[in-house]
Amino acid sequence: MDMVYMMDLIGCGVFAISGAIMAYKRKMDGVGVLVLAAVTAIGGGTVRDLLLDAPVFWLTQPNYIYVIITASILAIIWLNYSEKIPEKALEIADAIGLALFVVMGTSKALSYGVSDVTAIILGMMTGCFGGMIRDVLANEVPMILQKELYAMCCIVGASLYVLIIPFHHDLAIGSAFSAVLLLRLAAIKWKWQMYVFKY
């Protein structure tokens, strides 16, 4: 099975779990869990495919729906039997999904012949938009707008992918994934931010 496709499915599952964690935090019912898990997992990719005028990926590949349902059930079991959510669990799950989706989104954008800059933007959107929709539905200010470095991590990773992919496929994937994940985790740990206004 193609590595990028596997990363996409794993990212879908991880993002679905982050959506379920948010639903738990907001005390939602089972429908709320599935809705937040689904929009987090497929929201960014759906926007990307619509902009590329490509077939929306999950409409023709039911594996994504199966992954979302499975991840949601596992998250429900875990959250019901654990005494509390580990600190930063949502942000760590989100960081892993973010890294996976940036790679996949940038790769798919390039496969449709868009420019490098457009591919970087679409890679960022693939990573960010699902979590943004999740946060809006949960009545939270989206992480991308008010937390530590977020979109910038995606831009760095997508840029690395675009620069390295002409020379080495696997190195491009590994470099982009590692850059997004490590930057995001570092930003969470040390609260790196990019303020432009004086507060």
What whole-number distance in Å separates Cα of residue 95 and Cα of residue 15?
9
Q: Which two tokens stand for residue 86?
A: 């580990």
What whole-number distance in Å separates Cα of residue 99 and Cα of residue 126?
10
Beta strands in the chain (DSSP E): none
Identify residue 66 by its one-letter amino acid code: Y
Identify residue 82 by its one-letter amino acid code: S
- Model confidence pLDDT, tens digit, residues 166-198: 999 999 999 999 999 999 999 988 988 887 777
Average per-residue pLDDT for the chain: 91
Provide the 8-state DSSP code for 186. H
Identify residue 59 by its one-letter amino acid code: L
Indicate if the pLDDT at residue 1 is higher than 60: no
Indicate if the pLDDT at residue 118 is higher than 70: yes
- Model confidence pLDDT, tens digit, residues 5-18: 888 899 999 999 99
Which SS3 state, helix, strand or coil, does residue 191 take?
coil
